[in-house]
Amino acid sequence: MKAATFIEPGKVEVKEYDKPTIQKPTDAIIRVLRACVCGSDLWWFCGISQRQAGDFVIAPFTHGCGHCAACLAGFDGDCLNQEAGGNGGYQGEYLRFTNANWALVKIPGQPEDYSDDMLNNFLALADVMATGFHAATSAEVKKDDTVVVMGDGAVGLSGVLSAKLLGAKRIIAMSRHEDRQKLAKAFGATDIIAERGDEAVAKVMALTETGADAVLECVGTEQSVDTAVKVGRPGAVVGRVGVPQKAEMNTNNLFWKNIGLRGGIAAVTTDDKQVLLDAVLTGKIQPGQVFTKRFMLDDIQAAYEAMDQRTAIKSLVIVSDK
């Protein structure tokens, strides 16, 4: 089978590997139709994080067993029974999927029953849509809330869509790119702020007077986290899903405004089964619109470059159309 392989910073290639095999009764072998490049994959591609050459390029999301304390509490992304190394490479033709009897989300029918756009929507549920929704639920977004979304990548845009799905009345998207601003508005954003730092805080306060009820932090940088805390009203909650890029943060600002901070790895299986799959099937959301460029698996290098150079909001990788 073919699978994307990290070679060195700035370079990925498609190589041949043995097909995975069943190793446990709870495993399943999945033939991959579509995959995508995650923003976190770029950490190795850009040389920010170190990774030994020859490893598969893997998705950052994990899934649970369905019966441990974390899974039963609805946090399957933090499953206590995860295998070291996860499932292996998602950007390949086949993968061994652990805990398949619980963690797989069954879609009615077969791939040929759905349109191209709907297949993209399903793909988003495996990745960014679930993370954006996790940011919104972690921030406790409620009906008629005012929400600020930090980040205009695919996760941030999914956060906008999630805030709308949960009933937010005003959604302020922090974005400086025209194509992403346009999609943010299509997803439900009522206001766009292009500024950063203190200027962004001033703009939010001018729009809201008191600050936002909920803030979705979908970037992970020190500036983004700092701004997220500052734009929340007293008692607001920040839902943080941006992968932290700095180990330390000043929590004193949280204290002086009674700001709550929570979040982490998305509970993909739980949220898909309870909310998101139905929202896609009934046409309430169309998260697949974040895929603005598509590539065949053999063109995986170009897919990464498009993400890295911001010529694509998110790269779609066609593995098989059959």
Q: Which of 174, 136, 155 is nearest to 287 (CA)?
A: 155
Q: E strands along 152-231, which residues? A: 170-174, 191-193, 212-217
Mean pLDDT for each 10-residue chunk of the chain (322 residues)? Answer: 86 87 81 79 71 36 83 90 64 78 84 91 92 98 98 97 98 96 98 96 95 96 92 97 80 90 92 94 97 94 94 92 64
Do 143 and 193 fall within a single domain? Answer: yes
Q: For residue 25, what pLDDT is reported?
A: 83
Instruction: Kindly state whether residues 255 and 296 are assigned to the same domain.
Output: no
Instruction: Decide if 172 contacts 149 (C-beta within 8 A).
Output: yes
Q: Is the domain of 243 the same as that of 309?
A: no
Alpha carbons 127 and 38: distance in angstroms, whole number: 8
As to burial, measured by CB atoms within 10 angstroms (0-12 exposed, 13-18 middle, 19+ buried), residue 106 is: exposed
pTM of the model: 0.84
What pLDDT shows up at residue 86? 52
CB 125 within 8 A of CB 149: no
Assigned domain for 90 exists = yes
Run of H or E residues at 93:
none
Q: Is residue 111 part of a domain?
A: no
Question: Three-class SS of residue 27?
Answer: coil
Contacts of 30 (CB under 8 A, 6+ apart): 94, 95, 97
As for how many domains the chain has, the answer is: 2
CATH of the domain at 213: 3.40.50.720
Domain that holds residue 311: 2-104+286-318
